Chains A and B, each alone.
Chain A
Amino acid sequence: MRFMLLFSRQGKLRLQKWYLATADRDKKKMVRELMQVVLARKPKMCSFLEWRDLKVVYKRYASLYFCCAIEGQDNELITLELIHRYVELLDKYFGSVCELDIIFNFEKAYFILDEFVMGGEIQDTSKKSVLKAIEQADLLQEVRHPQTHLWSPQNTPMETP
């Protein structure tokens, strides 16, 4: 996987993870371009598209688009599953995750992603072990530095199919 983007229907970037170090300018350009392409697609269209020399796999969950860029030889369906698995992880972690969770705890969303995918490859296919790693790391964090404030959003939960 080259990179993963989360953005809202309004075209606001919510999360970006680049597995190939890229200069800021290029990142911005690619994000903008890709968002346009993806947002222009209709709901019934398929989740895959060829973009530049990459394949883009995206999926919409509630108001959020999860979008992965993979290489030509990669398997699209497994990428779709990866996206879904990530959403499941977010959902488990936040409990009925919604976009606001990701906005306000965006670093957590990153941490979860980092435990799940590393360097563009799936790190652990087991949901349990990913969550365990996150929980323990959080525990470590809280022991050393009790969190003062945890945002609890009053938003509708994101659908997870």
Chain B
Amino acid sequence: MDMELDPDEVFRDDEDDAEAEYFRERASTKELAVYLIDASPKMFLTHSPSEKHMKDESHFHITMSCILSSLKTQIISRSYDEVAICFFNTREKKNLQDLNGVFVFNVGDRESLDRPTAKFIKELSQLEEKFAKEIGSQYGIVAGSRENSLYNALWVAQALLRKGSARTADKRILLFTNEDDPFGNIKGATKTDMTRTTQQRAKDAQDLGISIELFPLSEPHKEFDLSRFYADMIGIDDDGIAEFMSAIGAKFEDMEYELKRRMIKKRIVKTLTFTIANGLAIEVNTYALVRPTVPGSTVWLDSVTNQPLKIERSFICADTGALMEEPTKRFQTYQNMNVKFSVEELSEIKRVSTAQLRLLGFKPLNCLKDYHNLRPSTFIFPTDEEVLGSTLIFVALHRSMLRLNRFAVAFYGNPSHPQLVAIVAQDEVKVAGGQVEPPGMHIIYLPYADDIRPIEEMSPENPVPRASDEQIDKAAALMKRIDLKGFSITQLSNPALQRHYAVLQALALEEDELPETKDKTLPDEEGMSRPTVVNAIDQFKHSVYGDQYEARSSAGDDNMSEASKKRKASAGNAVKECENYNWAEMAESGKLTTLTVVELKYYLTAHNLPVSGKKEDLISRIKMHLRK
């Protein structure tokens, strides 16, 4: 098989890569999660959320749709994390311990707790319809029986999470329920007993390093009451209850949004020491809230076994041909000399600051220009874990910076990439749906003078033309017409990613047809052709271009650059020349090799194919094209 192995593409420079990786997202520990979903009949009751949403929805439906969307994100971005789906209060049972009222959902030869597959997600998405038939909903805790489905569910979940060590994996149980008093219909000593054993079971799990996170689902007019049972189980004190509930957002219509946000585990990239002054340093955690998501890179496979391959790099001495360790010396040719550096010296050069993050001072916000940017920002939030008082000092500075409209300038002494940074305080922004911008500070990476180019200063005209007030007024009128009210970047999906994963999903599920995806980033043609908009644009155009615009733009087409004229001409020539050869026959008899590269390029140019590469490449490209 003819493989294009371009070493530059496939084996990108390690150093670059490490850095790119860091700014994308640091590989962190694996996450193992068990979704524990209450499937009691109460979860299937439908509620009418508000006038806006006409359709009634059940808590069960909301839960399932959140979990599905989370799994879909997970399969593309964090595919090493493992999940299990476990229902309790079910009619049927399916679990290794053979406990009643607990059903572990799975497909095929996947382990119960495993990485999500395309098939798993697909079947889970169809589960709701056939739930009643195949799994069934049934109250598991009823008076008169000593059956305790909640206890069983915790036990099953804990057993599932026995896999993997607590050191390398984050273990979570995510519990979804709308029953704030699971033992409400039990009385007396039995109730006390069941409450105690269930809480003990939860505590045992927590002692093993498993975190239990509760996702309470409130009914429209009745808030979930933590104090009845769950506060004790997950270990929240009285002060904590209000804080916990306020973090949840009680409104039914916001529930789905809030659940989704809480399901994402906050990942700390790093903990930094932020030196405010000599003798005073606080600790902050950094988070990557904004990072480009890119389609996963290709993996290399053995074409016979279809197993993934590993790429190994080895170093060979150009003189002796001997295999060697990765060399620790580098050189730079300078004034006809080879100046040698050791790797240690190179990293010593980069060690320009002893502090991780050191405050240098404050500036008014208008000193931060729009071109002072190099890469995505990093969010910081204080932590009192190691240094007590960090939060207190951080909050005080945060308030002062907001009040005085200032940002901090600091030096970020990252060993591989030391940089000057701006630290901008962000006030919390809340809307009805919840927190839009969290409170904290954003680190913005500043360019150095070496990184800024004086493009504007290259203008040959002297003095340059400027718009008149009338032209500016027309532009302003135009702006009012094409106004994106309440624009938010969260409205736009990345069309290339959408397409990429839609194709992969279809192939993974072995579907025959490739799905259609819609590019929502295109301008609103319909809106732009409204008469008021067209009129505003025309007025602006006329004020700037006069009557000349149409004439100019049609002239523009003839006014092709020299290079493109030449290209056009050579293409025309190639078509003519190309007809002089019988390509098919020559390819058949292997005579293509007798032609010169120039001749071969006639064919390629005439058929709009790339003309790059060696002679063999050109020939194989021609053969490929002829075969079609």
Q: Does A pair with B?
A: no
